[in-house]
Structure 1
């Protein structure tokens, strides 16, 4: 196919020539063109009628030669493998896809055929399947190994937890027996004591009333401050003084109530620990082959009232300690029933003075804090107003950017749609308009970011305003309770001589 030198009659160039025969006569090499030019110059120098030096009798005279047509300046075109002349820009390049004609059905080159075979025989899928098989088997082995290890560790943890629960269960059971015995002994003493000190009922009621009033404070101010600690001390001191009196039946009854409450709590705790120990025993008896195991949707969570392990240890210890403290206090009370403390009234009066000082200090601190909160609230309201003005300015600025964006995009759209043919070029004005759109977009994005930040800050300021107003209301209620209501109640506190029984 590559040795064909004939020109078929139907292969004609539609733009240069109309006849392939004329093209073959006219197409000359550059050497032939140069020789013809030199011979033409020589003929100009020879006189008219004189024969030329290199011409024979058959050479045509200059007057009968056709004028130059320009074909001698065309490139030296050669036919391709199919016998056709290729006028395309790829005609002189090598390595292109072979042509398809009526003599051949070849569509791909030999290199493409080899590349296709190499792609078909590529072992990448086989290799990937081996890798996936290895990874899957390894994952299965690791999964079962990890699950077995995790189950073994959890069994050890369950055993340790069961031992801890059993240890605390024994401690709680011992404390429960002790408090039960103490309740019975105190009941015997209560039957022996029938009188009660009426004077001590007033300080007790005052302290209790103050504690009840302070419990009505709002949540931010429900703190165990110095005043509350002093009030609690005052209550304890009243109980201590009452324990020293012969006719302290009320204190004994209160202690009896405390003992019963402690007994109730410790019995409740013992029931909880018994149930927890039984649960852990059941869990330890289960394995993967048990008949009672099943799927439990929603079990992968903590309980509704679950707490950290540190709290559990603290709770167990606190229950036992509280029960033991109540039992010990009751025993001490029974041992000191016949003792009379002469300075009981003086201690109560001193404690009352300390409580009044603590209340006054708390009132001063709360008043100062309320003033600062009100000042902060005013500043917050001013900042909210400033932030709203800033948000309006940002929104107005963003709206003003729309006109500039419309202008730039309209100019770009006009240049893209209404510049014909070769006029549609990437000139400097077009690049400048694109850069302008980009800058406007970046500016709008930045302003929108600032707007979001401003709105977020405004929301934070509004939330802070709500918190400040709530705290101010809380502080004012605390001031009313501590200064007005508790002050009025404590003005009826008996004097030291009255407490002493004079």
Structure 2
């Protein structure tokens, strides 16, 4: 059946009927009707809030059917057809809606499943990434801990070496103090003195280098502790994130611990993206690796420094001991030569004997001199002409002169002998004093200095660089 669309219009009526009212309009309605029933119906509709003033007229004309008629059969058919069409349209819309709903349900279900699958895969991949970096962090942390232990062991060795240097320094200073007790000419600034002073300077220089090494080691240990703290903090964060992601990965639609969190998808408190997240851990690992390399270089350098210092100290120690030994030999040789010269002091005894002989000889010449002088004096008492200068007189005079000359010579020789004796006595005293000085020096250098320097006081200074 062909249907036609009829336009519905609304306009005021130009001529009023017996029910005229200011609010009376003329309406034109178009409905979906069969072509054979198509028509246009003009009717009047009166809008009035109160009809009480017209009630007598209506009641008076009850016999007039035109007054009581509201709709026409055509309008009734139109209304029914409109309802039929509305039902058909509504049913068609419902069927379309149901089809769309089923399709939407299927699409959303598929999309939801795919989304959950992708989210699960992403969570699994994220867990794998966290485990990978966690393993890298664990490996690097273990290596850093091992390197820290090695550096701490080096610090222990350097500290012990620094403490060990104090003993040879004390010994060297004690030797310098002991050698100040030398006496006389032996109180010289000899090779031993220079060796001891050089040894003190070398030890003090090594101590300064070792203390500087300890400062560098402490600084490196602080840097490694910071690097380890960063690694462990990153590990703890990744462990927490791993636990959270594993819990999230195990959740499903039937889990009891799932709830609604309205607006959580709008919560943007994230601080990194995967690239910066991985770069952060990579930087921590690289920082730790740099610190480990620096620690390894520092260990090698300081192991060499400790070995070099110990070798330098031992060489200085041996040089000082060699100088002391040589000095003791020189002093002993000088003492032996002095003793040899002192042993020749028997000449002093011989000089004494000669002095005694000279004195006896002078004493022995006194009697002949007195005899000759007495004879001369006695012969001076000869009378007159008898005072003759005879050969006897001449011989007595010559005898007296000879005796006096002999006595004078003997006295001069006695004086020389006595001077020689005094010189010999002084020389002997000097030799004896010098021998005592040499004995004292030998005792100080050999017994005291070398006595406390018999063996190098630093042992077990060899290290292994690993």
**TM-score normalized with structure 1 length:** 0.40
More helix, by proportion = 2
Normalized against structure 2, the TM-score is what?
0.43
Larger Rg: 2
